[in-house]
Amino acid sequence: MVIIHKLPNRRYGMPGNASCPGCPESMGLRYLKMALGDKAVLVIPAGCSSVIQGIGPKSGINFPILNIAFAAAGAAASGMKAAFEVQGKDYIVVVWAGDGGTADIGFQALSGAAERNEDIIYICVDNEAYMNTGIQRSGLTPYGAWTTTTWTGKKEHKKNMPFILIAHDVPYVATASVGYPHDFIEKLRKAAKIKGFKYIHLHAPDPVGWRFDSSLTVKVAQLAVQTGMWPLFEYERGSFKLSPFSKKYKDPSKRVPVIEYLKIQGRFKHLLNKPEEIKKIEEYIERTWWWIDLLERSTNPAKTARELLNK
């Protein structure tokens, strides 16, 4: 359990950086520092986090960073870890990639690194669009959301990245949210102790691209969990389990109606008086939880996917 008052009183973020007010990425970077301290070295593909650093000679992110081409984060991190191993240094190599850098352009390097079971932590900071270049749709933009390339709302559902990584059968896969830092920090600390490939998908509501007030970042993040849109879970060495904050939302009657989540975001404005569209989002939530139920039942007690196949 992470207790805020026990966290050492020091500078975790870096004030005076270039992020927008209320930015979930700089929030997440602070939690990363709280969890891993000065042991972590970041690999960042193109995205807002490249810009948050500023143009130099000062950097607005409180970590040593290798900035790398969009498609290459997984590969570059694998090489960096190998170099540290040869030198006998025990730094934790962390990829900090946007949703585009993870699910679209960086996908093959990620999948390759996962398949080779490289000893790195891969964090997808999911603000559900290509924010740095001005809010274009990505594979992780949810159904119905406005972006500058989906004027009338996106027609496809969000790609389920955590499940895709579970299918890679890596040692650790987890979802997290900037609205629940305790949970995220705990998962990071756990991941740092596991050898092999670790994937953490961090949900990061973005006031700029999602069109909500900058003071609501935390509220929107928490609503995503409470409506069941973003379930928090862990898949650890073949065993799937829901995280404490999401457990009770397995029961649909406990969930906050999804409209509460949609109506505070400008990107869903055009959907609000279309019940059939909202129904589609509700069905998506149902489907996600159906998968969760399936994974929970089939992987407990812990079984690897290979074991299940051999049965």
Partner 1 sequence: MGENKITSSQTCVIEPPKTFFWAPLSKPAPAASGKTGTWRTERPVIIQEKCVKCLLCWLYCPEDAIIRKEDNSVEVDYEYCKGCGICAAVCPVDAIKMVPEEWGGKQ
> Which residues of the shown chain bind ligand TPP in the complex (CB under 6 A)?
46-49, 70, 98-101, 127, 130-133, 138
Q: What's the min distance (Å) between Cβ of 123 and ligand TPP?
A: 12
Q: Does 73 bind ligand SF4 (CB under 6 A)?
A: no
Q: Does 25 bind ligand SF4 (CB under 6 A)?
A: yes
Q: Which of ligand TPP, ligand SF4, partner 1, none does residue 17 bind (CB under 5 to 8 Å by kind)?
A: partner 1
Q: Which of ligand TPP, ligand SF4, partner 1, none does residue 14 bind (CB under 5 to 8 Å by kind)?
A: partner 1
Among 40, 61, 75, 109, binds partner 1 (CB under 8 A): 61
Burial per residue of 245-284, b for 16 or more beta-carbon CB atoms within 10 angstroms, e otherwise: bbeebeeeeebbebbebbebbebbeebeeeeebbeebbeb
Q: Which is nearer to ligand TPP, 46 or 120 (CB)?
A: 46
* Token pair listed for 212: 């909500």
Distance CA 108, CA 65 (A): 22
Residue from 293, 311, 305 nearest 241 by CA: 293
Q: What's the min distance (Å) between Cβ of 67 and ligand SF4?
A: 15
- How far, in whole angstroms, is CA 27 from its chain's centroid? 13
The region that residue 78 occupies, defined by phi over 0 for left and psi between -120 and 50 for alpha, beta otherwise, is alpha
* Token pair listed for 53: 């650093």
Q: Does 147 bind ligand SF4 (CB under 6 A)?
A: no
β-bridge mates for residue 242, sequence order: 233
* Token pair listed for 77: 């991190």
Residue from 187, 278, 296, 169 nearest 229 by CA: 278
* Site map 189..228 versus ligand SF4, x via CB under 6 A: -----------------xxxx-------------------
Among 109, 131, 165, 188, binds ligand SF4 (CB under 6 A): 131
Among 17, 177, 226, 227, binds partner 1 (CB under 8 A): 17
Q: Does 26 bind partner 1 (CB under 8 A)?
A: yes
- Is residue 172 within 8 Å of 241, Cβ to Cβ? no
Burial per residue of 34-48, b for 16 or more beta-carbon CB atoms within 10 angstroms, e otherwise: bbbeeebbbbbbbbb
Q: What's the min distance (Å) between Cβ of 152 and partner 1?
A: 30
Q: Pick the stretch among 49-57, 140-148, 190-198, 266-274 that binds partner 1 (CB under 8 A).
A: 49-57
Among 69, 71, 194, 218, binds partner 1 (CB under 8 A): 218
Q: What's the min distance (Å) between Cβ of 56 and ligand SF4?
A: 18
- What's the number of CA atoms in the CB half-sphere (13 Å) around residue 114? 24
What is the contact surface with partner 1 in residues (CB under 8 A)?
A: 4-5, 9, 11-24, 26-27, 30, 53-54, 56-63, 181, 207, 213-219
List of residues contacting ligand SF4 (CB under 6 A): 19-20, 23, 25, 48, 52, 127, 131, 206-209
